[in-house]
Amino acid sequence: MRKLNTLIGSPVERVEDLRFLRGRGQYVDDLSRSGTLHAAMVRSAVAHGRLRAIDAGAARAMPGVHAIITAQDVGRPVPTIPFRRPNPTIVPYAQPVLADGIVRYVGEPVAVVLADSAERAEDAALAVAPDIEHLPAVANWATSARGEVLLIPGTTSNCAAVFTANAGDADATFRRAAYTRREQFRVQRMTAMTMETRGLLAEWNAGRLSVSGAAKLPFFNRRAMAAMMNLPEQAVDYVEYDVGGGFGARGEFYPEDFLVAFAARTYGRPVKWIEDRREHFMAIAHSRETECDLEIACDKDGAVLGLRGDIWVDIGAYVRPNGMTPVRNVAQFTTGPYRVPNLQLSAHALVTNKTPSGTYRGPGRFEGCFFMERLIDMAAKDLGVDRLEIRRRNLIALSEMPYPLAPVRPNDGFGDTACDSGDYAQTFDRCIADAGWQDKAALSGKVIAGRYHGVGIACFIEGGASGPRENARIAIERDGSFSVYVGSSAVGQGVETIMAQIAADALEVPLEQVTVYHGSTTYLSEGYGSYGSRATVMGGNAIVQTAQALIEKIRAAAGERLSVAADTVTISEGRACAPDGRCVAMAELAGLAADGKFDNAKATYTYGTAIAHVAVDPDTGGVAVLDYLVVDDVGRIINPETLHGQVIGAAVQGLGSVFTEEIVYDDQGQLLVASLADYLVPVATDYPCVRAVSLEEHPSPNNPLGAKGAGEGGIIPLGGAVTNAVAAALASFGVEPRVLPLTPARIWQMIQDAKKQ
């Protein structure tokens, strides 16, 4: 049959954009319900303390205040937030929805105020007076590891979990290696800065709970909410609206999710809560803050023989629902795309008196790539081996695919994994050529117009296709168009466009005849959402499977109407036709629908290389990024335009991570960052020369589309590539950056310290 469509692979403009550009996006703060109560959270101003009492008398007397909810009102034991991947060691570290007896970080909810306006609720929240007896604060992972103050009663340490990656015999390898080097590196604490803050609107009606403002994980959150509320899962709906980005942190189950819903059920009125930006800094999941002590072993020619060491992750006061993912990932993926036959890495999750951590774009992989790429550059310098040659020598080869990655224990429900396909040298060589490495490398260390120039390189892999499945449903409407329902969520990545392209191709209809509905639990009985670069792979393949099932139903129905065998019916241009030319229009088959799913236990791995060219001002420590190029292979490209936007956006986000973004606490656990004046995110003029080239030479063998995840590849190599470039620029000073972010003050100080030696 002639193929009508070639939408997959075409640069289709995002169908979402028209409504956004016209101001017709609908966010949860746009929602209004009659009789709504507005919630404001009363949060602890103390990092660690004993909550002796809460004086809410003055607040209750204020005009418009309807109620104040404390742990006593919620009931004891106070519910704790479920884990997405539970294991026994983390159970004691679950977060209660309200502090009960002990507060463990600045910003922890201790009460909820309900009032007839948001302003009155906020004013009343300021009038609530918690009586908190100060306890010693555990302000960093090193203090936590000593265990002098245990944060969770009944535990024997502040280490919630240890993930270990092992392969070969690392200790024996280091005893006989020709070359070893041991180093310490650190990545700072940061968080996701979505365009608008979180928001929720909960409604209770005749035994049913509806929560608007779902993002990322509506189906998990529905299960969690139903269990915590002792409701049947079918009595809870999570409804998705527009959001300005997710980046890992958006849409996890937070204390506010339960509290807003509990208030709506308790008082029988809609309850709305919109987070302000100051709250965002202290309430949404933080991430990164990872430190390591690693040792690399090589032969005299630079072939990596082994890697060993310890990694410590400051996870904050509690384990978030998905808080172990960065810890697990940094253990498994520090080796990146390199062949490391002998490995012994232990990643430790340590609780402190800080906001709990979770995932942030490229969780664990950003940190691990930074560590590994710095070690490789240092090893190349010590051994007198070219920086390109040492990488080319150690990259996993095409002939080794699928290449098993070192197993991690405990596996935390992930299972063992393997790089699925790819020629890592191909993207490496393409990046070198397109970046003009040879010409730029000749400038490394040179002074031009008072600035030291340098180039750096880093290679990476990006995991995707998180399982176990995704679901879809396709139905024919009265006008002959198709409604596509998918469990994937939209967090700014263009789900409506991508899924429509896949569905239109699979159904052989024009794109305009397909409408995509996503995320909300009202559409499907089961779904999984968007995380871990999974939406296109899992949701897209679920649509392909469902479309095939619907096509068979269409053929059967049309064959019956036309009195021909179903297998003789052809479908083209919105009609189902018999061999003699008689046809049935799709509108005549309205109501026909099919459900389907895509099951998958095998991850996909996008891979690539990034090169940065920088110029460093030694007088100020300021770094200008003159050029940044990332080349990746994403398996199969569904839409080159949306893909390009994802990679470039991730790269700019990563540059913010490298240079300016940092959440800082003092030694008493007090948060020192409260606004975007303190936490500097990149703006459009900061990094004008960011380039991306995406290839599709090696489709994944693990799914019918051949697609791989591509939402994180732009950010993962940034720390390594840029820091290596800065080190190359300042080689004459002997500067070797080991800590992010690369603030002007930090770089200036490194130069001054080097001058004194």
Average pLDDT on 9-26 reads: 94
Average pLDDT on 638-659 reads: 96
**What is the identity of the amino acid at 751?**
I
The length of the chain, given as a count of residues: 757
Confidence of residue 86 (pLDDT cuts 50, 70, 90): confident
Query: For residue 60, what is the domain's CATH number?
Result: 3.90.1170.50
Whether 146 maps to a domain, the answer reads no
Average pLDDT on 235-260 reads: 95
Q: Report the number of distinct structural domains present in the chain.
A: 3
Phi, psi of 217 (to 5 degrees): -135, 55
Confidence of residue 684 (pLDDT cuts 50, 70, 90): confident
Whether 576 maps to a domain, the answer reads yes
Is residue 337 over pLDDT 60?
A: yes
- Residue pair 462/607 in contact by the 8 Å Cβ criterion: yes
Q: Hey, is 413 helix, strand or coil? A: coil
Percentage of the chain exceeding pLDDT 90: 95
Query: Alpha-carbon dihedral of residues 189, 193, 194, 195, nearest 10 degrees?
Result: 180
What pLDDT is recorded for position 5? 62
C-alpha distances out from residue 542 to 5, 470, 471, 506, 640, Å: 19, 6, 6, 11, 21
Average pLDDT on 45-56 reads: 98
How far, in Å, CA of 533 to CA of 541, rounded? 14
- Residue pair 251/216 in contact by the 8 Å Cβ criterion: yes
Is residue 4 over pLDDT 70?
A: no
Q: Are residues 621 and 574 in the same domain?
A: no
Q: Are residues 292 and 334 in the same domain?
A: yes
Q: Are residues 329 and 418 in the same domain?
A: yes
What pLDDT is recorded for position 359? 97
Identify which has the larger pLDDT, 5 or 513: 513
What pLDDT is recorded for position 572? 84
Whether 8 maps to a domain, the answer reads no
Query: Alpha-carbon dihedral of residues 252, 254, 257, 258, nearest 10 degrees?
Result: 130
- Which residues, at least 6 apart from 671, have a Cβ–Cβ distance to it below 8 Å? 106, 107, 281, 282, 354, 355, 663, 664, 665
Sheet architecture: strand order including 159-167:
179-191, 286-298, 304-316, 342-351, 159-167, 408-409
Average pLDDT on 637-664 reads: 97
Whether 728 maps to a domain, the answer reads yes
Q: Are residues 124 and 204 in the same domain?
A: yes
Q: Are residues 440 and 295 in the same domain?
A: yes
The domain boundary, picked from 564, 599, 634, lies at 599
- Residue pair 730/382 in contact by the 8 Å Cβ criterion: no
Average pLDDT on 126-137 reads: 98
Whether 142 maps to a domain, the answer reads no
Average pLDDT on 526-548 reads: 95
Q: Are residues 306 and 207 in the same domain?
A: no
Percentage of the chain exceeding pLDDT 70: 99
Query: Of all helices (H) and strands (E), which one includes residue 725?
Result: helix 718-729
What pLDDT is recorded for position 454? 98
**Which DSSP category does 47 fall into?**
S
Sheet architecture: strand order including 469-476:
514-518, 482-486, 469-476, 593-599
How far, in Å, CA of 710 to CA of 643, rounded? 7
How far, in Å, CA of 260 to CA of 203, rounded? 9
The domain in which residue 211 lies consists of 31-135+197-243+250-283
How far, in Å, CA of 380 to CA of 301, rounded? 9
Average pLDDT on 592-606 reads: 96
Whether 589 maps to a domain, the answer reads yes
Closest CA to 65 of 125, 4, 121, 9: 121
Q: Are residues 546 and 670 in the same domain?
A: no
Cα 751 to the chain's mean position, in Å? 35
Whether 168 maps to a domain, the answer reads no
Is residue 239 over pLDDT 50?
A: yes
Whether 150 maps to a domain, the answer reads no
Query: For residue 499, what is the domain's CATH number?
Result: 3.30.365.10
Is residue 2 over pLDDT 60?
A: no
Confidence of residue 414 (pLDDT cuts 50, 70, 90): confident
Q: What's the mean per-residue pLDDT of the chain?
A: 96
**Which DSSP category does 671 fall into?**
B
The domain boundary, picked from 567, 599, 631, lies at 599
Give the model confidence (pLDDT) of 291-330 as tens digits. 999 999 999 999 999 999 999 999 999 999 999 999 999 9
Query: Of all helices (H) and strands (E), which one includes residue 648?
Result: helix 640-659
Average pLDDT on 72-94 reads: 94
Q: Are residues 362 and 483 in the same domain?
A: no
What pLDDT is recorded for position 1? 36
The domain boundary, picked from 599, 618, 649, lies at 599
Task: Considering only CA atoms, give the Rg of the chain.
Answer: 27
Q: Are residues 634 and 569 in the same domain?
A: no
Sheet architecture: strand order including 447-448:
447-448, 451-464, 604-616, 623-633, 690-695
Q: Hey, is 98 helix, strand or coil? A: coil
Q: Are residues 694 and 707 in the same domain?
A: yes
Q: Are residues 275 and 233 in the same domain?
A: yes
Q: Are residues 219 and 117 in the same domain?
A: yes
